[in-house]
Structure 1
Amino acid sequence: MTLRTYFADMHIHIGRDNMNQPVKITASKQLTLTNILKESSRRKGIDLIGIIDAHAPNVIRELKELLEADLAVELLDGGIRFEKVTVLLGSEIEVYDKNCQGPLHVLCFVPTVKSMEMFSNWLKTRMTNISLSSQRFYGSAKELQQKVKELAGLFIPAHVFTPFKSLYGKGVVTSLQEVLDPKLIDGIELGLSSDTTMADQIKELHAYTFLTNSDAHSLKKIAREYQQIAIKEPSFKEFSLALKQEGGRKWIRNFGMNPMLGKYYTTVCQDCMQQNEPSVNQCVHCGSKKIIKGVKDRITEIGQADTVCLKRPPYLYQIPLEFLPELGPKTYERLLTYFNTEMNILHYVPYEQLTQVISERLAKLIIQMREGKLDIIPGGGGKYGQVKK
């Protein structure tokens, strides 16, 4: 059996369905299922994606229409193939559990359109509006876990350190066992303001594979974070085996933004956007009490690991091309014209070929990005960090 490496981004939202009705209200109207498939296959060069609003009835209908028109095919091992990209069907759900301090978000993936229909029908009895993304689930987190497993699905807590609506941000005091059944967790999504070294300060996470996903709310944000995995072919079954590190399938690398570029890395006052110590209740700069504790400080607060997890694959700091100074839309399109996909540009095109299309300075920035050597201005309080010019 031959294994190959593939790029995967497993957290992409749908902004509008094919009836032009909103699905993820805060996402771009251009973020339709068909546009996502074309962008991922033709421009991004991503091999495996997760659509996490596939529970919405209109999205399910659009998937069926693609299959009926022979524009896509459902795989025997789960997932849907469209051109060069395979889609796994998922749902991001907001859980309010009686054992939670606040809401937490989770990703639930199932293997087939039929199982997603069953999941959607079940969620209708526990949600107010099944047509929208990330809706409140009326039930316990463990009940949701058990249902996902009944459907042969995967359960992954989402962006677990984000200050709002996440497992460690507002969900639990110190341990995931306060809310979830550890045996029914298939992986942990880190989010944009953390990396594997930071997350491994929490010992109970050593048992899980870490995912780095884009949480894309627009087409251009697809694959701003992703992973490279070794599998036989992109499918639900193979992705599941990689999460479990079974049969030789495994994570090769995580590609994520430097956590300092994330919106919630440092503790910041929401009003004046100045950094504060994590222990303060009132901003030392403006007096506001709207203090947003940063991911770095939250992990320090709850971290308890005295050993490192030795099985982690490399975590490479990488950023979307749009973050690079001087790389505007026209330059981006010119790069795609010459080198076909963003994955080619990010990973494979040599410096000498880059300089035939863009300036030497910009080509050097791309190479420095590959090597994780860019200087970063930290973000916080909902504001992204920046690459130093």
Structure 2
Amino acid sequence: MHLQSIYADLHVHVGRDKYNKPVKITGGKSLTLTNILKEASRNKGIQMVGVIDCHSPAIQEELSDLVQVSKAEELKGGGIRFEEVTLILGTEIEIYDETCAGPIHVLCFLPTLQQMRQFTSWLSTRMTNINLSSQRFYGSGKSLQQQVRELGGLFIPAHIFTPFKSLYGKGVVRSLTEVLDPEMIDAVELGLSSDTSMADQISELHGYTYLTNSDAHSLAKIAREYQELRLKEGTFSELSLALQEKEGRKVVTNYGMHPKLGKYYHTVCKNCLAPGKFGFTCPDCGSDKVIKGVAERIQELVSKHEQLQHSNRPTYIHQVPLEYIPGLGEKSYHKLLKNFGTEMEIIHHATKEQLNDVVPDNITKHILQMRKGIQHVKSGGGGKYGKLLE
């Protein structure tokens, strides 16, 4: 059986629906469903994209419109094909119940548009505004998991270490079993401020596939993190097999930003963002309030778990979006796209000689270093991204 490599980003938000009404309040106005599919297929060059606001009725209408005019096609294995990309229908939901300090964000994916409509009907009685993204769910995490399972879906805790809205990030939950049924978790999403080596210090995560996704709030941010999957074809059922590592399907490589580039890597003063540590008084402004960084939070969790490393993980390549590269402006970016077609072709396949014919040597150098995971970075924290150094 022939298996192929497919690049996938499974966490992309919709900013506006077909009526120009907001879905993800902080999402860009150009971040419509159709624009996401075009960007993923034509410019990013990824073959699978998870749009995690497909619970919204207006988004479902737009999908139906695309299918009716034959611009998109529902696939037998689940998912919807648009040009060169498969859409995986998902939703991001906020859990906040009596069993946890919350809020905790999770991703739920369904195979078909019909099943997503059923999920929307169920959610609408347990959610204040079904039209918006990342809304609070009035019910337990386990009841949500059960409904997703009954509909044949996938359940994935999102950006699990990020402060404020994640499984471990709030600082109260010490084990996922306090909130969720571990048997109904299909994978976990690491988030921008962590990577495989950091997460694997926590033994209860060893049984799950790790995902690296963009959490894009703009078209440009799509595929700033992604993974290479080994699948027979780009469908929901094949994705499900890959997360379970069955029949040769699997995640081959995770591509993610260096954790220090994430905006919550280090602990910082909440008032002035000066670097600090938990329980300190800031020498710059005198505040004793901090935003705890992912690195410190993981160490807290490690102290209560066996400090073991999972030995058989996919390679994790530290990579940045092309827009992060010093000196690569909009003009150079469009020259690269014109010559090589997609970002995936630029990042993974164009030779040194081919790149040098289009852009200066220093930009070529950065692209080639990206392929090897070689980066020099300045750490971020407290909501401020790190920087790629020259």
Scaled to the shorter chain, the TM-score interval is over 0.9
**Which residue of 2 is the match for residue 288 of structure 1?**
287
Deviation, structure 1 residue 90: 0.3
2:72 corresponds to 1:35 = no
**CA 1:143/1:39 → structure 2, altered by over 3 Å: closer, same or farther?**
same
Structure 2 counterparts to residues 1-389 of structure 1, below 5 A = 1-170=1-170, 172-280=172-280, 282-303=281-302, 304-389=305-390
Q: Distance in 2 between matches of 1:97 and 1:351?
A: 53
Which residue identity is paired with 1:376?
A: V
Which residue identity is paired with 1:352?
A: E
| Higher mean C-alpha displacement, 303-312 vs 126-135 | 303-312
Q: Distance in 2 between matches of 1:102 and 1:225?
A: 25
Q: Distance in 1 between matches of 2:352 and 2:273?
A: 38
2:260–2:378 Cα contact (<8 Å) kept:
yes
Q: Distance in 1 between matches of 2:147 and 2:385?
A: 36
Other structure's SS at 1:170 match: coil
Deviation, structure 1 residue 171: 6.6
- Which blocks of at least 5 consecutive residues in structure 2 are unaligned? none
1:278–1:294 Cα contact (<8 Å) kept:
no
Q: Distance in 1 between matches of 2:116 and 2:359?
A: 45
Deviation, structure 1 residue 270: 2.4
Deviation, structure 1 residue 286: 1.1
Q: Once the two structures are superposed, what CA deviation does each residue of 1:185-223 show, in whole Å capped at 9, x if it has no partner?
A: 000000000000000111000000000000000000000
Other structure's SS at 2:375 match: coil
Q: Once the two structures are superposed, what CA deviation does each residue of 1:365-387 show, in whole Å capped at 9, x if it has no partner?
A: 11111111120000000000001
Deviation, structure 1 residue 271: 1.9
Other structure's SS at 2:297 match: helix
Other structure's SS at 1:89 match: strand
Q: Distance in 1 between matches of 2:342 and 2:5?
A: 17
1:172–1:178 Cα contact (<8 Å) kept:
no
TM-score, with structure 1 as normaliser: 0.98
Other structure's SS at 2:169 match: helix
Which residue identity is paired with 1:88?
A: I
Q: Once the two structures are superposed, what CA deviation does each residue of 1:142-185 show, in whole Å capped at 9, x if it has no partner?
A: 00000000100000000000011100001743100000000000
Aligned residues: 388
- Which blocks of at least 5 consecutive residues in structure 1 are unaligned? none
Q: Distance in 1 between matches of 2:270 and 2:320?
A: 25
Deviation, structure 1 residue 284: 3.2
Q: Distance in 2 between matches of 1:359 and 1:295?
A: 36
Q: Distance in 2 between matches of 1:267 and 1:341?
A: 36
Percent pairwise identity: 59
2:202–2:307 Cα contact (<8 Å) kept:
no
Q: Distance in 1 between matches of 2:196 and 2:315?
A: 9
2:279–2:288 Cα contact (<8 Å) kept:
no
Other structure's SS at 1:168 match: coil
| Higher mean C-alpha displacement, 236-245 vs 302-311 | 302-311
Q: Distance in 2 between matches of 1:9 and 1:362?
A: 25
